[in-house]
Amino acid sequence: MLTLRRIGRAGLAEVRVKLEGLNPGGSVKDRPARAIIESALADGQLTPDKTLLDASSGNTGIAYAMLCAELGIRCEICIPASANVERKRVLRSYGATLVVTDPLEGSDGAICEARRRAVEHPERYFYADQYNNGNNVRAHYDTTGVEIWEQTAGRVTHFVAALGTSGTFVGAGRRLREHSPGIRLIAVQPDSPFHGIEGVKHMATAIVPGIYDPSLPDEVVTVRTEEAQAMARRLAREEGLLCGVSGGANVVAALRAAAGLDRDALVVTILPDGGERYLSEPWWEEGP
């Protein structure tokens, strides 16, 4: 976890970012993927003769594929055609089978395809279903939330995280609220259904994950794709932090929150992955 030193204005509360791109599979999704697989192996849902199946915009699929390669388990990922080339190449490098779905349907289209396959061939698949699997939330409750509390020595006053599966926000948020009932939990989503913030859902128009708890956030804020992309560029050029566009969105929201706080407050957010998985994207060359 690092404090942002250059981005922001004088008088802002401190903003810290948790660098989840340093996980072995390169993203925050290593945490739920591991918890889901370990639980399925323990209760017999996932066996050597079954294929792990799920929908993913990229990062959870990569985490599954990495872990399945280690375990000798087949892995099949339904992924929108709009997912960038880096993610698809990493998935294939780990030996995953890709089922490419309609780009116009986004992650929801991938979810529908994974569900269809699981229903038609239950003998073939273990359907991990990250959007509805309670182990997703549990992973962040047991690890992410604990680490944030310990790494800030209990000083965290605001937690900001984007909503994709919502596992990070719900799991870490619940744990932090147990430690500090007065903490402010701020959820982040795109400002429109058609956006370029990979892995993040516009909840009003998307299939809402079953693990999402709408009563948990104190506030839900929206971020434009262009704002998130610009912030990702700034983080690289001004802080030396190469992150993805969802990390940019999180920092935009975190800085907004910090602007209205005194200097004793501490805002924590997540950089879910590294920017290496986005280098083919043209927005890196845009703007300042």
Which residue among 89, 105, 127 closes a domain? 127
pLDDT at residue number 91: 97
Asked if residue 53 belongs to a domain, the reply is: yes
For residues 154 and 271, state if they share a domain.
yes
Predicted confidence at residue 183, as pLDDT, reads 98
**Within this chain, do residues 113 and 56 fall inside the same structural domain, yes or no?**
yes
For residue 90, being part of any structural domain is answered with yes
Choosing from 86, 104, 127, the residue where a domain stops is 127
Residues 193 and 82 in one domain: no
State the Cα–Cα distance between residues 186 and 256, nearest whole angstrom: 11
pLDDT recorded at residue 288? 61
CATH of the domain at 266: 3.40.50.1100
User: Do 227 and 156 share a structural domain?
Assistant: yes
Residues 89 and 162 in one domain: no
Statement to judge: residues 113 and 228 lie in one domain: no
- Does residue 273 fall inside a structural domain? yes
- Please tell me whether residues 35 and 156 are part of one structural domain: no
**Residue 234 is assigned to a structural domain of this protein:** yes
CA 285, chain centre distance (Å): 24
Residues 162 and 216 in one domain: yes
Rounded to two decimals, the pTM is 0.95
Catalytic-residue membership of 29? yes
Q: Which residues touch 178 (CB under 8 Å, ≥6 apart)? A: none
Structural domain contains residue 276: yes
154 with 260, same domain: the answer is: yes
Give the number of other CB atoms < 10 A from CB of residue 9. Answer: 8
Residue 223, strand partner residues: 190
pLDDT at 35: 98
Q: Give the DSSP letter string of the chain.
A: -EE--SSS-TTPPEEEEEEGGGSTTSBTTHHHHHHHHHHHHHHTSS-TTSEEEEE-SSHHHHHHHHHHHHHT-EEEEEEETTS-HHHHHHHHHTT-EEEEE-GGGHHHHHHHHHHHHHHH-TTTEEE--TTT-HHHHHHIIIIIHHHHHHHTTT---EEEEE-SSSHHHHHHHHHHHHH-TT-EEEEEEESSSS---TT---TTTS---TT--TTS-SEEEEE-HHHHHHHHHHHHHHH---B-HHHHHHHHHHHHHHHTS-TT-EEEEEE-BBGGGGTT-GGGGS--
In a domain, 182, yes or no: yes
**Could you list the residue range(s) of the whole structural domain that residue 212 is in?**
2-23+141-285
Q: Which of 105, 127, 149 is the last residue of a domain?
A: 127
Helix (H) or strand (E) holding 43: helix 30-43
CB distance 52 to 128 below 8 Å: yes
Q: Do residues 34 and 18 both lie within one domain? A: no
Q: Which residue among the candidates 56, 57, 107, 246 is catalytic per the annotation? A: 246
The 8-class DSSP code of residue 189 comes to: E
Tally of structural domains, the chain: 2
Active-site position among 29, 88, 107, 201: 29
| Regions in the chain scoring below 70 on pLDDT | 9-11, 288
The reply to whether 50 belongs to the active site is: no
Question: Residue 132 domain-assigned?
Answer: no
Whole-angstrom distance, CA of residue 143 vs CA of residue 46: 23
Q: Cα–Cα distance between 201 and 209 in angstroms, integer?
A: 10
Domain check: are 107 and 180 in the same one?
A: no
CA separation for the pair 255, 17 (Å, rounded): 11
- 191 and 94 both lie in a single domain: no
Question: According to the model, what pLDDT value does residue 57 have?
Answer: 87
Q: Would 239 be classed as within a structural domain?
A: yes
